[in-house]
């Protein structure tokens, strides 16, 4: 029965795994890279912000875009607006979108809502190197304390969107 100790060692090795660090999630990333100090699942941020932070439907640099929970995103998602391109396009910095734990900077997001209110967006998806095919519903934007109304103006005219999009770094 010399194979029993070897079998026992194999079983221990199979069930004993080194501690693995969890991939970075979107909420801790957004909290660390914005002036919004909220906790918990991303989809709860919108309700938590009420009475503490200003909220709205217009993107502002430094604001946090809050995604609703869906079947594909059961706890929602949050992303920090780093640049406003035009009325329908912003650049986001976020984590855990294209793959678990991946940090993406300069990820384009497009407002595809019928009313231009950012209630539905498409976001850059690294595996396809394009805006994702799936539309994602959002609550809107949570604004940093003291955010100025002037920040709401687009950073570039609409006709320069294609040039700005072409200059974004590859997300890989």
Residue 128, pLDDT score: 93
pLDDT per residue of the chain (172 residues) written in tens, 0 to 9: 454 444 433 433 334 344 445 678 999 999 999 999 999 999 999 999 999 999 999 999 999 999 999 999 999 999 999 999 999 999 999 999 999 999 999 999 999 999 999 999 999 999 999 999 899 999 999 999 987 543 444 444 444 444 444 555 444 4
Task: Encode pLDDT of 13-24 as tens digits.
Answer: 334 344 445 678
* Structural domain boundaries in the chain: 21-166
Max Cα separation, the chain? 79
* φ/ψ of residue 6, rounded to 5: -65, -40
The residues with which 45 forms a beta bridge, in sequence order, are none
Domain 21-166 -> CATH class: alpha beta
Share of the chain above pLDDT 90, in %: 69
- DSSP state for residue 43 in the 8-state scheme: G
Residue 92 near residue 103 (C-beta atoms within 8 A): no
| CB burial of residue 76 (10 Å; 0-12, 13-18, 19+) | buried
Listed residue (38, 41, 44, 29) closest to 145, CA to CA: 38
Residue 109, pLDDT score: 98
Give the residue ranges of DSSP H helices in the chain: 3-15, 26-32, 45-49, 161-166
Q: Which helix (H) or strand (E) holds 36?
A: none
Residue 115 near residue 109 (C-beta atoms within 8 A): no
Q: Hey, what are 139's tokens?
A: 């609550």
Residue 106 near residue 128 (C-beta atoms within 8 A): no
Residue 3, pLDDT score: 47
Residue 154, pLDDT score: 44
């Amino acid at each position: 029965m010399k194979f029993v100790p070897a079998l026992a060692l194999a079983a221990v090795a199979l069930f004993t795994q080194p501690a693995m660090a969890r991939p970075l999630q979107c909420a801790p990333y957004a909290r660390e890279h914005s002036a919004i100090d909220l906790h918990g699942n991303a989809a709860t941020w919108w309700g938590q912000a009420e009475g503490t932070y200003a909220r709205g439907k217009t993107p502002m640099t430094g604001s946090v875009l809050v995604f609703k929970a869906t079947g594909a995103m059961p706890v929602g998602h949050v992303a920090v607006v780093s640049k406003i391109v035009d009325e329908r396009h912003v650049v986001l910095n976020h984590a855990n979108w294209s793959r678990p734990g991946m940090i993406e900077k300069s990820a384009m997001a497009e407002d595809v809502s019928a009313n231009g209110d950012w209630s539905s967006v498409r976001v850059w998806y690294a595996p396809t190197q394009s805006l994702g095919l799936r539309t994602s519903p959002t609550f809107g934007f949570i604004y940093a304390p003291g955010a100025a109304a002037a920040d709401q103006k687009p950073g570039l005219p609409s006709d320069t969107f294609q040039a700005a999009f072409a200059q974004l770094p590859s997300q890989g």
